[in-house]
Chain A
């Protein structure tokens, strides 16, 4: 494909034909804010926060949907552009709860970031605000439509990534709202709580319920790992605070799944800190389990396995390994059975 050359804020940049001004700006290392744009989703060009100035064009075009053209000159932060962005932010804040002090998304909220960047405050117009009830009756997702800026990424993620089409825009104008059919709660819809909508939400409108109150966003450490549920092998980030896993967020670099996850991977990892976890070795004495220390338990196991091996031969011992455990552990258990016990009696249930 042919290339086009354009100039963005005085920098020359070459991009393939068909690339947008926003793509070109990214290639040139020039920042342009976006709300509704997402590289994995279709491009509605709806929020207008990404407008730029292109001399010769009648209006300020939205850079995310305007194709870069040969010889084009682009200004991404001219006074007209800044004024337009500020007005957009003022209008958004006008109908947004002044809740950053307690909002769980604070620190990872694009609206907050851009308001800070452009110095925009609440209350420029004194206009009307929504008073929607917050939807929190399901176990996974909190929906606060008062904080929704109608970027539509959740609608597109549900339709284009999950192909479920559970939510869409309803009503018109100021009353426009993202809702399920007949504006019913998610629990009464066909929603499967995959949380793809939460993953793309730029504000606090959609939140992981389990993470609420567990830590501010900037306090959370992220450790990328592989999901322990089915065989698809999704990657995600474990969110860690104070030595505890408090939740899961998607990692766009995941090779198999990108930001897609299912309800179990995104919302079901809390079993790690379940109070039902086994936390100490147990030895059965007179039909009841008694807590033991590791030395006592391991000595007993070694002694018993050794006794059976000595009395009945190595093939009187068998082991089941686990499709839940790591490769390293499966390797070690078969090595243990073969090299230490001396039998090939090792299997696991997921052989098929």
Chain B
């Protein structure tokens, strides 16, 4: 979010999912859509079958990679050199959109000076991608009438995640591939309501609608509506909260619907931080790894047991409808928060979530024109400033949210930890098709189909370790250790082991590195050094 917010002025998908089937070229980088966003992945496959060209940038030979015109299997963590290399060729060969660059952007000279240092031969060496493919892809992308970039956590879950995103934005602006049906830069959100949680201001620096807490005007509006004085300093981001907990500065935490012990990097560190709190309350639907160490556990309700809205990746606000009563004595999470506020002396009187949404819309300009009646049948994509506004399918059509698009020259930032003699394998992580971050292990059907981790290991490495598919290996990093079964497959390159993070029995994040992007504070889940031993 921070990357696109810097380059364009807003951190969201610039296009709609429907644009996947309206473009001439799909440029998929750090996104395994057929596994992580299956219905979007199917759109991509349909587009390819109808003639859309496909470029996939991924260290793994994903299903999309197999069906791509060009698969660029870069070394993990070399996205910036690769993108700079493409831009180097595009500028050298005069393939960039001079009119767009002149009229819609600023900072081109800086970008040009930086990418000058990334000639294809050097980039080929840095990334492992042949120079001929760099030339071909650069020409293909620059020459496509419409070109759509999609990326996911393969881009953002690095110590240079924000810079990776800004490099992607550079490439799109350089060629003018932004702001039209079928052209733009699209982060596919990992979870159902990532976009919404950000939009709603569940962030330490902004209220809903990205209104800064440090902006006296914005603060005054919320103070008036909420009837209280509000703090004017930005709060802490997650990794800093854990550090503050360890330092005794944060004494109590309220965690709603997250399981950082399972899902945050360097899990043992996180567990230690949470255990050092005076008080931890966890609101959950299952006894999560984090809930186990709580002082109080409050049972929340699932999406099927409450009304509300989710905002999807393409900024579409859609209804969630209650179908059944909450099980047992569990309660909708909104109700729990209201009850708690009442007890702490602050009235939160909402008859149902529709009232909460109406308050949100009244304080959030990008949501101002949205209400439950309007989205009863078909959701609306923000920004939607008024009730007669149809919503916005494509962002930045005539101007960027920030005015002019901002080029930034960005240099290579290596991963925090690379394999060495002691920890010779590179661990990368992600999601598999049959599971989601949480709750799918409690689905009888899904869990029966994929009951345990099958870490991906290249045949060359498997031969060296004398393991076959189904055998178990011990994976150890500087931070933790676990045992997992392996699937021997050449979908991963030699030297890499790839694991999902769905299984508490083999909690991958005890291995991942406690290193974060300095701006977004997103963990580097995609690169860590590990060693492997066969378990007999």
Contact = CB atoms under 8 A, between A and B. Distances in A.
Given A226-B192, A328-B309, A330-B196, A139 B445 contact: yes
Contacts, number: 474
A32 B370 CA distance: 40
Chain B contact-residue range equals 35 or more
Nearest to A285: B295
Interface string B396-436: 00000000000000000000000000000000000001111
Contacts of B520: 351-352
B201 A331 contact: yes
Given A279-B328, A281-B296, A347-B203, A230 B37 contact: yes
A131 B250 CA distance: 68
Interface string B123-153: 0000000000000000000000000000001
Interface stretch (B82-90, B168-176, B280-288): B280-288
A324 B193 contact: yes
A334 B314 contact: no
Nearest to B239: A347
Contacts of B153: 352
Interface in A305-352: 305-306, 308, 311-312, 314-352
Interface stretch (A99-107, A117-125, A158-166, A172-180): A158-166
B303 interface: yes
A323 B318 CA distance: 15
Nearest to B233: A344
Contact of A344 (B213, B340, B343): B213
Interface string B253-293: 11111101001100000000000001101001111000100
A284 interface: yes
Contact of A279 (B157, B234, B329, B345): B329
Contact of A298 (B236, B316, B340): B340
A177 B402 CA distance: 58
B321 A225 contact: yes
Contacts of B254: 301, 305, 317-320, 333, 337
B395 interface: no
Contact of A340 (B49, B222, B287, B346): B346
B193 A244 contact: no
Interface stretch (B94-102, B353-361, B454-462, B471-479): B353-361
Interface stretch (B108-116, B177-185, B331-339, B489-497): B331-339
A271 B258 contact: no
Contact of A326 (B231, B297, B353): B353
Contact of B39 (A244, A261, A311, A350): A261
Contact of B327 (A277, A335, A343, A347): A277
B377 interface: yes
B327 A320 contact: no
Contacts of B230: 338-339, 342
A308 B296 CA distance: 15
B251 A316 contact: yes
A242 to B, nearest CB: 9
A352 B1 contact: yes
Nearest to B11: A352
Given A284-B294, A325-B193, A351 B449 contact: no
Nearest to A314: B231
Contact of B445 (A235, A270, A337, A350): A270
Contacts of B105: none
Interface in A208-224: 209-210, 221, 223-224
Interface string A242-272: 0111000000010111001111110111111
Given A271-B440, A352-B1, A347 B204 contact: yes
A302 interface: yes
Contact of A346 (B195, B202, B303, B309): B202
Q: Which 3 A-B pairs have the closest CB atoms?
A: A279-B328, A233-B312, A322-B257
30 contacts: A192-B433, A231-B188, A263-B433, A264-B446, A267-B445, A270-B445, A278-B330, A279-B299, A279-B330, A281-B298, A281-B299, A289-B297, A301-B298, A301-B340, A301-B343, A304-B296, A311-B251, A323-B196, A324-B258, A326-B308, A328-B353, A328-B356, A330-B197, A336-B337, A336-B341, A343-B231, A345-B250, A347-B204, A350-B189, A352-B157
Given A238-B324, A316-B249, A338-B207, 20 more contacts: A223-B321, A256-B17, A264-B446, A270-B445, A277-B286, A278-B328, A278-B330, A279-B329, A301-B298, A304-B279, A305-B252, A318-B236, A326-B353, A328-B356, A331-B360, A337-B235, A346-B201, A347-B238, A351-B1, A351-B522
